[in-house]
């Protein structure tokens, strides 16, 4: 046995026998002289023989006037011993080291001695890189202590430590750095992730948002990376409670405006825009984008929309180039295709985030001018609307072009970005007047996707999108325009709607087909009754199809829900139009009497009937009176 080994063994034995604390302290003072930090065997022997409980007591020792040893020296020696173990993964990742974090933080809070602070910060910095330490760092009491240290200390290394802890947590929890943008589709959380998110939302968000708003560029981007990942994993309903810290939202908004206004790469743009989407989802569109009485804060909305529209245009061009390239070079090298797929996925992710922001804007700004008139001036709304019109023209063109590539396949538009594009296009067309020439080519695609929306060949994520409920409002709005009705009919739209109505009726979910019935009413009013009758296989079958559903609902409007009333009056009007086109010859006598009873009941209770139902009732009564 070498001499140092004998000395080390003696010291370690002293640490564990019945010797006094003073003797143990002397043993620790000797250890740095005996153990060469570059000698792994010596360090591991010291580590395995260390009395960590005694080290912990040293770190937690307060001022003792009866002791000949200063508290600073006790803490300094303990730090020096622990530092020797930070160079070896087996040591620093052990519970014996990780469990010293609370005591080290407590020391850091107490001392202003620069040398001792250096020792403590170096130790904590080393531990902040270790996966195993995250569970300790994100304990509520530890995180609060770190936040207070950041607030009280002028030393930027304290803030750097806190940010490093968050970045390590990101690496541990999200090893592939895949920033999930839709919380409901995210994989199940680990226990550490739950702790991490809970800690951030309850303890850290206010301070992190302050750094995002006021920190230098490096710290801003570190916070951005952390928040863009984590807040997109917070699967909660929008927080409308006014007690939520308005300053936090204001800081998030200010920091995002600063970042998005500066020159950043595509990765940072993705992080910034995904953070915008996340805080809109969490706090609500109006609180984030339309704060009352703060014109400067409202600049985030036009800035974000401008950037989102640019990213959508550029992103869809890149995705289309990749699709065309893949189609032309199907025999290319597998590694080249994989690299292209990876690049395409990143672009698609960015475009999808932009779609989320655009959808919220459509629903909260362009679709309801009255709701935003107090928050945005009319010129701002017009500018946003103009940018969106151009953006959607690009989206329409992309869908048509992508469809042409896959037109010979049964699984139309198989890529997630394609379905996302169809979805956002449908959201826009459900609210806006259609003006693009591409609509004539787009409408048949909508009908085909609707027809396949519940097909067995669709993947699980495609079925979960429930494209029929998304497309129906768009089809309803488009079929009010006579210039698009023939496109709809030629695409077998009437047959598609009838098949869906049959499906709902067979499941006794009559009212679920309200949108489809309204679409058929739109085209029937314009004279496409023959095509609807053909889809129903004639008047008799049409009456047989609708009669059971109308009988189940009845005509006692006082007991009906609003949706049931709308279904009843629209389905009745549709049958009246079909009966008239079938040249009646008294074929629908019993139906006509029920129709009159329903419309009379609606007119007698006008104050309880939705305005839309009264409009349909007026048309129906005119047809009855003319028959």
Domain end call among 83, 109, 127: 127
Q: For residue 443, what are its two tokens?
A: 């409408």
One DSSP character per residue, 508-572 reads T-GGGGHHHHHHHHHHHHTT-HHHHHHHHTSHHHHHHHHHHHHHHH-S-GGGS-HHHHHHHHHHH
- Could you tell me the pLDDT band of residue 185, with boundaries at 50, 70 and 90? very low
* Coil, strand or helix at 181: coil
Is 432 inside a domain boundary? yes
Q: Is residue 558 part of a domain?
A: no
pLDDT range class, residue 170, cuts 50, 70, 90: confident
Alpha helix stretches (DSSP H) within 200-292: 205-214, 217-230, 246-261, 266-283, 285-289
Whether the pTM exceeds 0.75: the reply is yes
**Predicted confidence band at 294 (pLDDT cuts at 50, 70, 90)?**
low
In the prediction, which pLDDT does 114 show?
86
284 and 363 together in one domain: no
- If asked whether residues 30 and 112 sit together in one domain, one would say yes
Which CATH number characterizes residue 369's domain?
1.20.58
Place of tokens 């009966």: 579
- Can you give the pLDDT at residue 182? 39
Domain interval for residue 244: 156-181+188-289
pLDDT at site 17: 67
Q: Mark whether 302 and 436 lie in a shared domain.
A: yes
Residue 560 lies in a domain: no
User: Is the distance from CB of 616 to CB of 573 less than 8 angstroms?
Assistant: yes
- What SS3 class is residue 176? coil
Domain assignment present for 346:
yes
Judgement on whether residues 277 and 313 belong to the same structural domain of the protein: no
Residues 256 and 329 in one domain: no
CB 465 within 8 A of CB 479: no
Answer with the one of 244, 269, 289 that is the final residue of a domain.
289
Residue 319 within any structural domain of the chain:
yes
Say whether pLDDT at 210 is over 60: yes
Number of domains in the chain: 3
According to the model, what pLDDT value does residue 566 have? Answer: 94
pLDDT category of residue 343 using cuts at 50, 70 and 90:
low
Which of 268, 289, 310 terminates a domain? The answer is: 289
Asked if pLDDT for residue 153 goes beyond 80, the answer is: no
Same domain, 160 and 123: no
Quote the CA–CA distance of 94 and 179 in Å, as a whole number. Answer: 30
Residues 225 and 373 in one domain: no
pLDDT tens sequence across 584-612: 545 556 778 888 889 999 988 888 889 99
305 and 438 both lie in a single domain: yes
Same domain, 254 and 387: no
DSSP 200: I
Mean pLDDT, residues 294-298 = 70
Q: What is the pLDDT of residue 187?
A: 42
Residue 209 makes CB contacts below 8 A (sequence gap 6+) with 223, 227, 247, 248, 249, 251, 252, 255
Residue 483 included in any domain = no
Does the pLDDT value for residue 428 go beyond 60?
A: yes
pLDDT of residue 529: 93
Answer yes or no: is 547 within a domain: no
Let me know if residue 145 belongs to a domain: no
**Quick one: 276 and 425 in the same domain?**
no
573 within 8 A of 623, measured Cβ to Cβ: yes
Residue 344's pLDDT is 59
Same domain (yes/no): 113, 167: no
Strands (E), 434-474: none
Measured in whole angstroms, the distance separating CA 411 from the mean position of its chain's CA atoms is 26
**pLDDT score at 327:** 62
Q: Are residues 368 and 300 in the same domain?
A: yes
């Amino acid at each position: 046995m070498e001499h140092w080994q004998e000395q080390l063994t003696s010291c370690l034995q002293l640490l564990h026998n019945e010797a006094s604390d003073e003797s143990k302290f002397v043993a620790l003072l000797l250890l740095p002289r005996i153990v060469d930090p570059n000698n792994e065997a010596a360090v591991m022997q010291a580590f395995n023989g260390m009395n960590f409980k005694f080290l912990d007591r040293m770190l937690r020792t307060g001022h003792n006037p009866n002791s000949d040893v200063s508290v600073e020296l006790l803490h300094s020696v303990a730090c020096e011993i622990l530092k020797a173990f930070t160079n070896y993964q087996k040591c620093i990742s052990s519970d014996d080291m990780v469990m010293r974090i609370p005591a080290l933080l407590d020391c850091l809070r107490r001392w202003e001695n620069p040398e001792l602070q250096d020792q403590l910060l170096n130790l904590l910095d080393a531990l902040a890189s270790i996966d195993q330490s995250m569970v300790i760092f994100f304990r509520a009491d530890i995180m609060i202590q770190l936040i207070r240290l950041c607030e009280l200390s002028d030393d930027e290394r304290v803030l750097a430590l806190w940010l490093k802890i968050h970045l390590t947590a990101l690496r541990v929890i999200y090893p592939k750095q895949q920033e999930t943008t839709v919380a409901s589709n995210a994989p199940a959380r680990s226990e550490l992730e739950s702790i991490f998110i809970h800690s951030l939302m309850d303890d850290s968000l206010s301070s992190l948002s302050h750094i995002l708003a006021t920190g230098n560029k490096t710290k801003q981007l570190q916070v951005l990376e952390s928040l863009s990942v984590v807040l997109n994993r917070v699967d909660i309903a929008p927080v409308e409670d006014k007690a939520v810290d308005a300053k936090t939202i204001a800081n998030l908004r200010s920091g995002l405006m600063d970042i998005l206004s500066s020159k950043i790469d595509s990765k940072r743009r993705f992080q910034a825009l995904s953070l915008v989407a996340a805080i809109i989802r969490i706090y609500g569109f109006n609180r984030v984008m339309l704060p009352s009485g703060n014109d400067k804060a409202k600049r985030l909305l036009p800035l974000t929309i401008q950037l989102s529209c640019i990213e959508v245009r550029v992103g869809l061009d890149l995705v289309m180039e990749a699709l065309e390239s893949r189609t032309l070079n199907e025999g290319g090298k597998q590694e080249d295709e994989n690299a292209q797929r990876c690049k395409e996925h990143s672009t698609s992710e960015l475009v999808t985030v932009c779609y989320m922001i655009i959808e919220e804007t459509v629903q909260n700004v362009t679709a309801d001018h009255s709701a935003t008139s107090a928050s945005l001036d009319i010129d701002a709304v017009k500018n946003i609307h103009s940018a969106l019109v151009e953006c959607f023209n690009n989206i329409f063109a992309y869908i048509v072009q992508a469809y042409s590539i896959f037109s010979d396949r049964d699984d139309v538009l198989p890529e997630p970005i394609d379905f996302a594009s169809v979805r956002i296009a449908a959201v826009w067309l459900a609210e806006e007047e259609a003006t693009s020439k591409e609509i004539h080519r787009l409408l048949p695609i909508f009908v085909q996707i609707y027809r396949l929306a519940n097909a067995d060949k669709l993947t699980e994520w495609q079925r979960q999108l429930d494209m029929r409920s998304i497309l129906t409002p768009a089809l309803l709005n488009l079929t009010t325009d006579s210039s698009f009705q023939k496109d709809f009919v030629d695409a077998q739209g009437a047959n598609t709607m009838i098949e869906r109505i049959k499906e709902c009726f067979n499941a006794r979910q009559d009212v679920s087909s309200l949108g489809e019935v309204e679409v058929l009413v739109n085209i029937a009013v314009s004279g496409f009754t023959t095509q609807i009758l053909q889809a129903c296989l004639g008047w008799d079958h049409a009456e047989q199809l609708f009669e059971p559903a109308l009988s189940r609902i009845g005509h006692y409007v006082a007991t009906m829900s609003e949706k049931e009333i709308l279904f009843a009056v629209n389905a009745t009007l549709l049958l009246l139009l079909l009966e008239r086109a079938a040249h009646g010859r008294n074929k629908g006598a019993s139906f006509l009497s029920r129709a009159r009873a329903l419309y009379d009941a609606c007119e007698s209770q006008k104050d309880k009937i939705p305005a839309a139902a009264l409009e349909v009732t007026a048309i129906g009564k005119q047809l009855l009176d003319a028959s």
